[in-house]
Structure 1
Amino acid sequence: MKSKIKQLINHYFKAKKESKNYDFYPNHIAVLEKLPTPYSRIIAIIISLSVIIFILWAYIGKLDVLSSAIGKLVVSGYSQQIQIYEHSRLTAIHVKNGQQVSKGEALLTLDILGVDEEINNLKNKIENLLLLKIRYQALSQITLPDTFPQFNLLNEKNKESILLSYKKEKDEFDASINNINAEIETNNKNKLLTHQEIDSLNKLKKNIENRFNIKKTLYDKKIISTMEFLENQHELLEINRFIKRKSSELIILSSQEKKHIKERDRLEKQKYLEWYDKFKQYESEIFLYQQNLYHAQKRQQLKIVRSPVTGTVQELSVHTLGAVLQPSQAVMVIVPDNQHNVAEVNILNKDIGFIYPGQKAVIKIDAFPYTRYGTIEGTIINIAKDSVQHEQLGLVYPVLIELDKQAIGEDEEQYQLATGMSLVADVIIEKRRVIDYLLSPIEVYRHEALREK
């Protein structure tokens, strides 16, 4: 190696010495005769190698293709926004900004307009309907009201009211049935008397027939006169006519008895069916009003606004007692405790096809310049199934990124991340060769050329 260097140095000085001899040569002869300097060859070789290395690097080397998305830090459980359920008036404030609250702790007390009156009205309706239901249930099932468990839960006044109304309606029904039964009994007595009369008339008829037969024999023998025979015959005809009339009366009485029995059965069936229908009607109405009462009581429970999670009160927006609050009005935010921050970013529509869960991302917090405090690595954990409209970016896909750490900075100087900090997330969506970047304008020109009319 030393000999080669020495040889090059000797060759250099020799060439330099000889080059002086060519100073007075004509130019074209000097160019032909003069030996080239070794530096020109070295420079040519270096340039050639550089070009070759650059071409190889452009062909083999790859660069990261990044998708940048803006967003902010949110808690993993999301902050809970407290909203008003319906039109109400503020009567008490139990918390203040920055206060720690437990799950279920009272935040506000409201006066929901009209809910107390509605509950009292529904309770009165249910109570009145319950009295009617018990009455008609007892009537339809032919039993006493005090046999039902619901009856024993009533106060004495309502118990007395049910028993009186039950007795009144039952007595009216029994009176109608008793009237019909009395008519049936009277009819049976008349039937019995008519039977007895017919039996007596039949016995009398036999006697008259015997006398008629005897007199007929005597009349045939000319022993008695025609007048006497005709009188006896008239007597027989009269008794037969009288028996027929009584038999007709008996048929009428039997028909009337059947009619009364049928009327009694019809009245009983109609009345029991009417009572049963009223019982089911009031039972259905009670169920309906109980449902309405349940919903009204649920609304009444909303008078006290409670914290859904354990956390810290922020953004309290109501401070005036008696203020009228509107439905869906946001009054405060509860930031959950023991929750770590995640990055929520908006991926552009053109990049979403290359984003998938588990993909790595680099997070740059705007509050801490990355050139000084560095960046935070993260992993995509969730991608929205549908896009949302963003005012500046158009249609975007919300994406959640899990952070590898919850602080930023050097080891000696660490700063905790706070919810709401703005950030930029760079997601590596692919790797691309350098030569592709260089050739992409030519490729675009090739695809778009020769399309003009």
Structure 2
Amino acid sequence: MSRYSLDNKKIYETREINFIKLFFRILLVFISFVVIGMFIVPVNDVVSYNYGEIISKNPEINFKAPFEIIPKKTYVSKGDRVFKGDTLMEVDNASGEFVTLFQQNKSIDIDKLNIEEKVEFLKKQIELDSIQYINDRKNITNELRNIGQQAYLLNQQIKIKRNKLRSDSIMYNKEVISLIELRQANDDYLTSKSSYVKIRNLRSQLDAQFNSLENEYLQSKNTLEIQISDLVASQNRLDQQKVNVNSKLEVREKSIDIVQGLNNRQFLISNLNGVIVNVFTQNQNLSFINKGESLISITPDSENFYARARVKEQDLKYLKEGQITHLKLDAYYYYQYGPIKGTLSFIPNRKEADNNFYVLIDLPKNQKLNLRSGYSFNGEVILEKMKMGKYILKKVFEQYDTQMSVQEVPAPKPSSISI
């Protein structure tokens, strides 16, 4: 072999070794970057959802007639801007229901006031009867105590006079005293005995009065309490009637009022700022509007939104109120406009009618995107931020736990049939 061939072989081997060294260094740098990145680069642990919908908190409002009315004059037309407090329409109550309900409302208030006064009077009467009952018990108790003392003294006197009568009888038989003195002793004894019998009868009457006093008091108290209960029931019925009357008097939608003006003139008053999008009397030539029919539709100037997203039931255990979520709207290109940030405001406890779980998301009022009710989106809920290495280990262990739980589920044993 020539010297030239040996030199070429050495050059070839040197180049090969240099290439391997360079490749190894590049690989080492790449692995270093990966390892360092696993401990430095942060990633989000998320729960994804594939469907959601933007919902308006104050959509277009369609105001209806709260009773049968005849429109007299309309002050607005379609496309007009109105403000809170503006007069929209003058109407007449065709059936006089508004005036009747207003009078009923006043009558109910008067009846409730009378019932409250009667209830207070009866409660006061119960208090007075209780005081009178206590005083009567004390008086009868004192009288019984006095009568008991009198009866005791009379009983002692009867014993003394009976002994005296016996001794006088002996002395009369011995002709020591006269018959007049004997009769006097006998009259004294009989008088004392008669007084004792009267006191005993009086005590029996007081005992009966004492026993009947409690029965009469309890009976009177029960009667008054029954009357109070009946009055309270009547008051509750009046309260319910008042609620019904007020619900009829109030306009069913919160943002419009029908107020009573001079000479029983009635006006529709706007309670919000917005734009008229429909006026019933301008679209149809009708002089009479039935209860519940549309009068005016107004779109509010400012519209606030919230979101409703469908989540999987196995992801619910990770969700908490207040967590940040990113919404990717289908109407806007994500990589150009970016996501909308929201906050979880409600976690469901049960499935809805379509057998799915839905979370509610609060959205900030100031949005760079022009939102509309009905926009669909998908997105993700950020559970926590962690390093890439920890995230990979977590996912590996979760996958391992899932596989183990599937393996631990026992397969159903085939049923043995004996013939």
Q: Taking structure 2 as the reference length, what is the TM-score of the superposition?
A: 0.44
Q: Taking structure 1 as the reference length, what is the TM-score of the superposition?
A: 0.41
Which entry has the higher C-alpha Rg, 1 or 2?
1
